[in-house]
Structure 1
Amino acid sequence: MHPWRSAQHVLLCDLCETVPLQRHCELCNINLCVNCAVKHLSDSSKRHNVVPFLHKKSTPNYHKCRDHADKHCEIYCEKCGIPLCSTCVTSGKHKGHEMSDILEKLSAKTESLRKDLEELETRIYHRYDKMASDVETEKAELEANYGKLTTDADEQGEILYREITAIVNRRKSAIAEMKSTHLDALNKNTEEITQKITELKQIISDLKSMLNSNDVSLTSTYKSRNSEFRTLPPKVRVTLPSLSPQKINKDQLNEMFGSLSPLSINTEHGDTMKSAEAVSFPPVKPLLDDPHVTATIDTGYKYLHSVSCLSEDQVWTCGMNETMKLLNLQSKQLTSIQTKSGDWPRDIAVTRDGDLVYTDPSIKTVNLVKNKQIQTVITLQGWYPRYLYSTASNDLLVTMESDDRKQSKVVRYSGSTEKQTIQFDEQGRPLYSSDYDIKYISENRNLDICVTDPSTSAVVVVNQSGKLRFKYTGNPFNTKQSFNPSGITTDSQSHIMTTDSYNHRIHILDQDGQFLRYIYCDLRDPYGLCVDIRDNLFVAEFGTAKVKKIQYL
């Protein structure tokens, strides 16, 4: 037997084969003792590179077995994920396990490391760096944008200087607060991206060191995080507020001066994410034991069915005629819009930009109202649009019914582009009934899509992929009263709230469909629902045509 294969594992010089090796020529790929190394270097015909044997790079750095100190690991157990020596293999502990040659494993791992490093350096890192640059650019433009708002406020204030000085100061304060909130959100986004960049740099450095070391024990335990970093961090999406000056009226200066639209800060998830969430998690708000009405709005309709919040004190409403009204908490009509068809809209919603959208089944369209001008954004064929919801990512979710009244589905749109259709469960059965066209819709903070289905006395909830999560069919502890859901909305706590019209109450559920409690508040035929940015609940009463603002958190 060759001496270097003996039980003692003495590694001998490849040339003299008598003296233990101490050097390695990387050019000739041979192992040498000290004397032979001197002779080898005397050959001037080649540029030999003789290094200490332990520093050689052309062959793997076998490490000693942790259980058998005199053995080197040359086998890799695929099941246990560890290198083994020959004694470990024959011990029986790894019987039946799939084995591979350590050199093959090293080669595969090394190739995987190289691919990860290439992707991190050439693709992922640069995209993070661009995101950071984009946020910095937005921050740089922030002063100019908010400066213009301040200038607009000043110009309006000079016209009414004596009478509205106090109002001007309040508006400036609001602008400054929004600016601060805007900047805080961008700074936080920068910090999140920078943190990821720091992690990427460290991983890249570690991978380079790992590749240079050629150490099997390191590469065999390496866990790739590339899939984690392929999904870019959330990007803050901000809708800048705007000032809306109005004609001077000294008796109504505060209102006529104009209001700032809300500062809208949403998160637009990178690449693989569909959704958009708020910048940070909301504080926990417990449910009140005694919810109460804080305002009542008389809408003037004969029958009222939908309400959607523009702000904390302004709501859009629609009933069973062609007019949609914007009202304040004092029941004053601020503006109104007539439908394009002259028929009554089935549902309304307010986008994240503050524009009104409505469905018009009579001409099979979904329409956007911008600066009092009506634009058709969706035109359907073979389907009637019914109810709709504007999501945090500014998509539109629309419930619709087929012309023959035999099918119902939910469709997600980005602008006029159809992105997703939700109609069947995993067994191919319809998720929604087809014999009752009321199907109010909302998207929860966890991106679940919630639809009321009065025909089946259920609230149908699917996840963002359209997979059925659960159906809520009423309080399980109250089986004596029927459940008749119509309107639906969700809040910052991921509560789901749905009206129970026949029983004159609202059900509050958690995000998993567990009943929490009722809201009564002397409601009569509650129908449509919405919440504002502070989680105030607005309820449209069908028969009284009133909107009630309720504090329940």
Structure 2
Amino acid sequence: MMDPRTSAQDVMRCDLCETAVVQMHCDTCLVNLCKACVGEHISTDESKDHKVVKFQARKSTPLYPTCISHAKERCEMFCKQCDIPVCASCIESNEHLGHELSKILRVMDKKKESITKERNELNDTIYPTYQAIASDVQNRMSQLEKEYGDLSTAITKHGEDWHREIDKFVQKLKAEVYEMKNTQLQTLQKHLNEINKTISDIKEDIDTIEMATDTNDLSKLFSVTSSVHIYRNLPDQIMPSLPKFMPKKIHKEELFKLFGALSSSSLTLDKYGYSMKTTQKSPEAGSSPPVKQLLDQPETVITIDTGYGDLYNVACLSDEEIWTSGNDSTMKLYSINQGSLLKSIRTKSGNRPRDIAVTKSGDLVYTDYDDRTVNIVKKKIEEVIRLQNWKPKGVCSTSSGDLLVVMYSDDKKQTKVVRYFGSTEKQIIQLDDKGNHLYQSGSYTTENRNLDICVSDWGARAVVVVNQAGKLRFRYTGHTPNMNNKPFYPLGITTDSQSHILTADYNNDCVHIIDQDGQFTPLYIDCGLSEPCGLCIDTNDNLFVAQNGNNKVKKVKYLQ
């Protein structure tokens, strides 16, 4: 049975009688009391100045420190020169004559203010930074495990390749030995057959002579012809000469050089590798960007014809070049100012890319929905992520170098966003605090400057924004332009230096702009857009719109 005095579900009890409900509190002794025990508590030690208050008002009475020079006296002043609390006797003794004295409560308030700032910095900045660093180191360790495993696998595979080649060579030499042996045996067998034939002839001649000598028939005797001179010429002697196997001496050093070697490993210490995390701005932001106002009338700067049958996506490689993708397996790099095609890359599987993005290091990333993979284009196409029971749709590269991937379950009933460091899964964003699904049919994603994660959910007709921890901040369900008045159909999504969230509205041929808190700005970007799909922003806050209606990319200026 639980003790009613210590049960977590019971009310607090008096520290003296241990039965009555707590009603009072002694701020001096930090003791909880019922009203009946207050007198007993005070009489127990009358030398103390007991400050008994209602339990709800506990900690309201300051506990002055005891003077180190005058026992049992409380210090209500503070000497700034000596940096110590002092009592009335200390002041009367002239020990602190001429020193600047302050009320200790005022010093206490300043101290509280100071350590509160430190606590806030520890709580809001330093602690989450160290958590992020720990997570980063853990991810690096996981990645290291994988990459060293890949390294060992590569060495094993190379060894197996060598074994296969050596086995092939051994079999080749043994086949040559077998062929040489058979050739020589056939020659000797033929020679043996000839000798055996001669032996048979000799035996026959011997029998003929013996028959002739044993008879009186002179005709048989004179019919015997001499053949001894023939057999006196003995056959040639055939001496087989065996091949010799001359193995080369194995020199380990040369063997190692031929097989391959490991380069040296290292651990570098980057003093400035980490920066403080805050909830106010991106770690890369450093300082707030200059404020830019929205133009009253956005302007079309350049239009680029991509030649796709259906154009879906656009991603900025730089302020001069953009990647595009459409309804075939080719991803095209265009010069913005010239409008000319610079490069074309086909997907590894031959499927069309579902979405494209550019990493901080300038590498192209694309999702292959049918192949269930996320791939990165370096010198060749490398598979980064392979999914099971899910298919990837939208992808973006974050300020920290992670990848955010929007994915569908195979039955198309669930959508989630997963954060990856390389191929290591770091975070899953799928449910809100009540266990409800955040997304219905998410397509595209991006990261805002404040590290919010923004997803265009065409199935829910909404833009869903969560914070870095995956907690829902808001949903934007659209302000449909009066001129079209069709249901909000969000597809491509991107953000700018002002933390605006820009979303392509496919149905209404425009781009919506909302602020980082989900408030609609009184501006639509239309500029004659035709079924806008993909969006991206360059470093100068120029907007690029991939139009499915005419398969052209528009560069739009919308900020001053």
2:551 is the alignment partner of 1:540:
no
Residue 380 of structure 1 and its aligned partner are, at CA, apart by 1.1
Instruction: Tell me, in whole angstroms, the C-alpha distance in 2 between the residues paired with 1:77 and 1:482.
Output: 64
C-alpha displacement of 1:305: 0.4
Are residue 277 (structure 1) and residue 284 (structure 2) matched? Answer: yes
Match for residue 160 of structure 1? none
- Distance in 2 separating the partners of 1:300 and 1:477: 30
Amino acid at match of 2:28: I
> 1:504 — aligned with what?
509
Return the alpha-carbon distance in structure 1 between the equivalents of residues 419 and 468 of structure 2: 10
How far 1:100 sits from its partner (Å)? 8.8
Moved over 6 A (4+): 76-79, 85-88, 92-95, 103-107, 210-216, 271-274
| Aligned partner of 2:28 among 72, 75, 94 | 75
CA-CA distance at 1:232 after TM superposition: 4.6
**Aligned residue for 1:50?**
none
Partners of 2:506 and 2:346 in 1: CA distance: 28
Please name the residue that 1:454 is paired with. 458
Q: Which residue of 2 aligns with 1:527?
A: 533
- SS in structure 2 of the partner of residue 400 of structure 1: strand
Tell whether the 8 Å contact from 2:357 to 2:397 is kept in structure 1 after alignment. yes
Secondary structure class of the residue paired with 2:121: helix
Inter-partner Cα distance in structure 1 for 2:308 and 2:513: 27
Partner of 2:51: 89
Listed one character per residue, the Cα deviations across residues 135-160 of structure 1 (whole Å, up to 9, x for unaligned) are xxxxxxxxxxxxxxxxxxxxxxxxxx
Q: CA deviation at 1:348?
A: 0.3
1:361 paired with 2:361, answer: no
What is the aligned partner in structure 2 of residue 493 from structure 1?
498
TM-score, normalised on structure 2?
Answer: 0.55
Structure 2 match to 1:418: 425
2:152 alignment counterpart: none
Identical counterparts, % of pairs:
50
Report the CA distance between 1:103 and its aligned residue: 8.4
Which of 265, 287, 304 in structure 1 is aligned with 2:311? 304
Equivalent residue, structure 2, for 1:335: 343
How many angstroms apart in 1 are the aligned matches of 2:480 and 2:303?
Answer: 32
Residue in 2 that maps onto 1:472 = 476
Distance 1:104-1:301 versus aligned 2 partners, 3 A rule? same
**Any idea what the Cα deviations from partners look like across 1:109-130, whole Å, max 9, x if unmatched?**
xxxxxxxxxxxxxxxxxxxxxx
Out of 482, 489, 493, the residue aligned to residue 484 of structure 1 is 489
| Post-superposition offset of 1:267 | 9.4
Shift of 1:98: 4.7
TM-score, length of structure 1 as denominator length: 0.55
Given that 2:480 and 2:487 are in contact with CA atoms closer than 8 Å, whether structure 1 keeps it comes out as no
Q: Using the alignment, how far apart are the partners of 1:105 and 1:413 within structure 2?
A: 57
How many angstroms does 1:416 deviate by? 1.4
The reply on whether 1:228 has 2:189 as its aligned counterpart is: no
SS at structure 2 position matched to 1:440: strand
Match of 1:518 in 2: 524
Write the mapping of 1:65-464 to structure 2, written as runs, cut at 5 A: 75=28, 89=51, 96-98=57-59, 102=63, 222-223=111-112, 224=115, 225=118, 228-229=121-122, 231-232=125-126, 269-270=275-276, 276-329=283-336, 330-371=338-379, 373-433=380-440, 436=441, 439-464=443-468
Q: How many residues align?
A: 342
Q: Secondary structure at 2:51's aligned position in 1? A: helix
Shift of 1:99: 7.8
3-state secondary structure, aligned to 1:277: coil
Question: Which secondary structure state, in structure 1, belongs to the residue aligned with residue 370 of structure 2?
Answer: helix
Deviation at 1:392, TM superposition (A): 1.3
SS of the aligned residue for 1:292 comes to: strand
Tell me, yes or no, if the aligned pair for 1:268 and 1:276 is still in contact at 8 Å: no
Mark the runs of 5 or more structure 1 residues left unpaired by the alignment. 1-73, 80-84, 108-205, 236-265
Q: What is the letter of the counterpart of residue 532 of structure 2?
A: P
The DSSP-based 3-state class of the residue aligned with 1:413 is strand
CA deviation profile, 1:395-421 (whole Å, cap 9, x unmatched): 111000112212110011111111111
Contact 1:267 1:276 in 2 (8 A): no
Deviation at 1:75, TM superposition (A): 3.4
1:363-409 alpha-carbon deviations (Å, 9 max, x no partner):
211111113x1111111111111111111111111000112212110
Q: Measure, in 2, the Cα distance between the counterparts of 1:474 and 1:515.
A: 8
Are the equivalent residues in 2 in contact too, given 1:268–1:393 (CA < 8 A)? Answer: no
What letter matches 2:449 in structure 1?
R
CA distance 1:78–1:420, change in 2 (3 Å): farther
Secondary structure of 2:459's aligned partner: helix
Instruction: Give the Cα separation in 2 of the matches to 1:106 and 1:275.
Output: 49
Aligned partner of residue 306 in structure 1, secondary structure: strand
Instruction: Letter of the 1:89 partner, please give it.
Output: K
